[in-house]
Amino acid sequence: MRIPFRLVDVFTDRPLAGNQLCVVPEPIPDLDSDLMQAVAREIGFSETTFVTSFGPDRYAMRIFTPDHELPFAGHPSIGTAFVLVSEGRLPSPLTQVVEAGEFAMSVDIPAGTARMRQSNAEFFEPLDQEARRALAASVRLDADRDLVEGLPVQKVSTGFGHLNMPVRDAATVGRASADRPALVPLLEAADTDGVYLFAVEESSEEGSRAKARLFAPVAGVDEDPATGSAAGPLGAYLVHHGVIPSGRLTISQGIELRRPSTLIVDVEREDGGLAVYVEGGVRVVGEGAFDLPS
């Protein structure tokens, strides 16, 4: 069995930065779930995607971390759409179908970017004080000293939910580190794979900026260089709680992993809710194929 793949860097304007992604861009007969998982584990990136079908202006795909399958993820969506359009397999705009639903995608080949509309934001019950303190300690921070008072630690989803943890400044985000044995049961109790630490560095009508990091050991990813499925919820969280105005949020992530990444989030008020768009640069950096026994 031959399984062609592309290697892609997402949420970056240059190769060898951003978040790494492996894309299998065409349906492969007899490629079952177990083999998809094994391929994702062999690649070892945060995610690997497998396109399973095409339509005139849509495609279906599955997403695997090294540990398990995901219903939705951001940088795999951005990167896979870019590969399919750049290779002439599908036109832009197009629709992506994953377990979590259908997502509108668009690709700008000259600009080297892709953009997606995520699901409308869903807000969950904030953590209580005890859970807040425990979660802060699990990333080696102190809730009283290091977290922003008055803002909740809260799970938000625009397709996939992560816990948002407001930290007082970028330096504090930078010195956090995950205590995996302590963190995993707290994430499982909150029914999420990861916690997104962030600090707002600038907020204005012209645009806002934040620094963020994602620890996702439940997904088999100790730290992720760029997380589109967390960036969208963060934008919605910040607008919902009045920290930033609706509009554009630019998120810096991945510095600590030497994979600097830039994620663009646009949040618009629409029909009483929040419409969320996530955009980023994409660079295709390699290709190859697995040759496996049938």
Cα–Cα dist 236/277, whole Å: 10
- Check whether 33 has a pLDDT greater than 90: yes
Tokens of 169: 């400044």
Say what percent of the chain tops pLDDT 90. Answer: 92
Check residue 247 and give left, alpha or beta (phi > 0: left; psi -120 to 50: alpha).
Answer: left
Q: How far is the C-alpha of 261 from the C-alpha of 255, rounded, in Å?
A: 7
What token pair was written down for 124? 């969950």
Q: State pTM to two decimals.
A: 0.94
Count of CB atoms situated within 10 Å of the CB of 250: 15
The residues pairing with 209 across neighbouring beta strands, listed in sequence order, are: 202, 250
Q: What is the pLDDT of residues 4-32, one digit of tens each?
A: 999 999 999 999 999 999 999 999 999 99
Rg (CA), the chain: 18
Q: What is the pLDDT of residue 270?
A: 85
| Tens digit of each residue's pLDDT (9 = 90 or more) over 163-219 | 999 999 999 999 999 999 999 999 999 999 999 999 999 888 789 999 999 999 998
* Mean pLDDT (the chain, rounded): 96
Whether the per-residue pLDDT at 294 is higher than 80: the answer is: no
Residues 135-172: tens digit of each pLDDT: 999 999 999 999 999 999 999 999 999 999 999 999 99
pLDDT, position 137 = 98
Strand, helix or coil at 268?
Answer: strand
CA distances for 194 relative to 163, 180, 230, 267, 282, angstroms: 6, 11, 9, 22, 24
* CB neighbours of residue 171 within 10 Å: 10
Any residues with CB less than 8 A from the CB of 237 and at least 6 apart, and which? 121, 123, 154, 156, 164, 243
Q: What is the DSSP string of 69-136?
A: EES--HHHHHHHHHHHHHTTSS-SSEEEEETTEEEEEEEETTTTEEEEE-PPPEE-PPP-HHHHHHHH
